[in-house]
Amino acid sequence: MASREPDGLDRLGEFGFIARMARPFIRELPAGVEGIGDDCAVMPWTKGERLLVTTDMLLENRHFIRNRVSGRDLGWKSLAVNLSDIAAMGGRPKWALLSLGIPEGVGLEWLDAFYKGWREAARPFGVRLVGGDTTRSPGGIVISIVVGGTVRAGKEKLRSGAAAGDVVAVTGAVGDSGGGLKVLLAGGPEGRDEERLVRAHHRPRPHVEEGEWLAGRPGVRAMMDVSDGIDSDIRRIMERSRVGADIALDRLPVSAVLRRVARKRGFEAVETAATGGEDYCLLVTVAPETFERTAGAFKRRFGRLLAAVGTIRTKASGLRYFLNGRPAHIRARGYDHFKSFRNS
């Protein structure tokens, strides 16, 4: 089917379009403000803090299918993905705005469940809902959220901080959410393993404590959350930092649950880990001389590995994949909102 997007938009892709649109606005930003290109905008705040602001939008039949996710789970996820952006900057979320476009047929019971899930995601971090908007949608459900937070001045972590030689690491397992999506698209979960993957997809945990902790460690240089998949997200760090990267596919932290479901369902667990997205752990680069000390302290603090999955190289190297020390390739690519229209 032909693209439904304007001419050239599917060619540019989501990130090419953002770069094209952002150029004149970035030039207008005053000193001390970080705008488009990171997980959050960063602005002056108090003497010891900087203000973080992020926004995200979820559209029915683009980001979720209503009859495959409960209102409660969708409420959780819609906020959690924004909290993850604050975490990726090393910050602490404080407040949120929530706007909803509600089509006919969505009743109060569904909306009550949505807000219940939203509050469940907000409560552990003390995030307060301070405003928003509602309207009648002519199509599906539209969810738009803005989250604000703070980070200690000088501790904010940008995508542009990576340097050649840095260790590339992640703060949790990757691929479970992508595996959960595959299960949902194949008709739904069968058994406990598949239910766990679906839950990972519907109820991601934002790594706020981990991000704030890492931001205070020496040698932590660049950070972002894994939203569109390792393959897409490492490319964003590469672009902003003007570097290349080597990723060892065999070192990606892939859960035993994902491996079992992948064997049963007939898909590649490692490729799903690299490209699936929506895990919302953190992708971080750390100076090599401090990595072992940081990883050891991370394990003592959080009870799991800060998993080293690659190395930052010079820009000329580009992105290279390895499997058991040998060059490798992945067939799929991380998610792109506009290029995905080509097959729709």
Gap between the Cα atoms of 282 and 158, Å rounded: 12
pLDDT in tens, 170-185: 999 999 999 999 999 9
CA–CA distances in Å: residue 324 to residues 193, 245, 285, 307:
27, 16, 21, 16
- Kindly state whether residues 179 and 307 are assigned to the same domain: yes
43 pLDDT exceeds 60? yes
pLDDT band at residue 4, thresholds of 50, 70 and 90? low
* CATH number, position 168: 3.90.650.10
319 and 181 in a common domain: yes
| SS3 category, 323 | strand
Once rounded to an integer, what is the mean pLDDT over residues 113-132? 98
pLDDT confidence band for 343 (50 / 70 / 90)? very low
Q: Which tens digit of pLDDT belongs to each residue from 262-291?
A: 999 999 999 999 999 999 999 999 999 999
Whether residues 213 and 326 fall in one domain: yes
Same domain, 187 and 288: yes
Q: What is the mean pLDDT of the chain?
A: 91
Domain boundary among 152, 167, 201: 152
The residue range of the domain holding 119 is 32-152
Sign, Cα dihedral of 64, 69, 74, 77: negative
- Out of 131, 152, 173, pick the residue that ends a domain: 152
Q: What is the CATH number of the domain that holds 106?
A: 3.30.1330.10
Work out whether strand 307-314 and strand 243-248 pair parallel, antiparallel, or are unpaired. antiparallel
- The verdict on 288 and 251 lying in the same domain is yes
Q: Looking at the domain assignment, is residue 1 inside a domain?
A: no
Q: 246, 311 in Cβ contact below 8 A?
A: yes
How many domains is the chain built from?
2
Position 193 in a domain: yes
| Domain co-membership, 188 together with 236 | yes
Claim to verify: residue 144 and residue 167 sit in the same structural domain: no
List the alpha helices (DSSP H) in 152-245. Answer: 176-185, 192-202, 208-215, 230-241
pLDDT category of residue 344 using cuts at 50, 70 and 90: very low
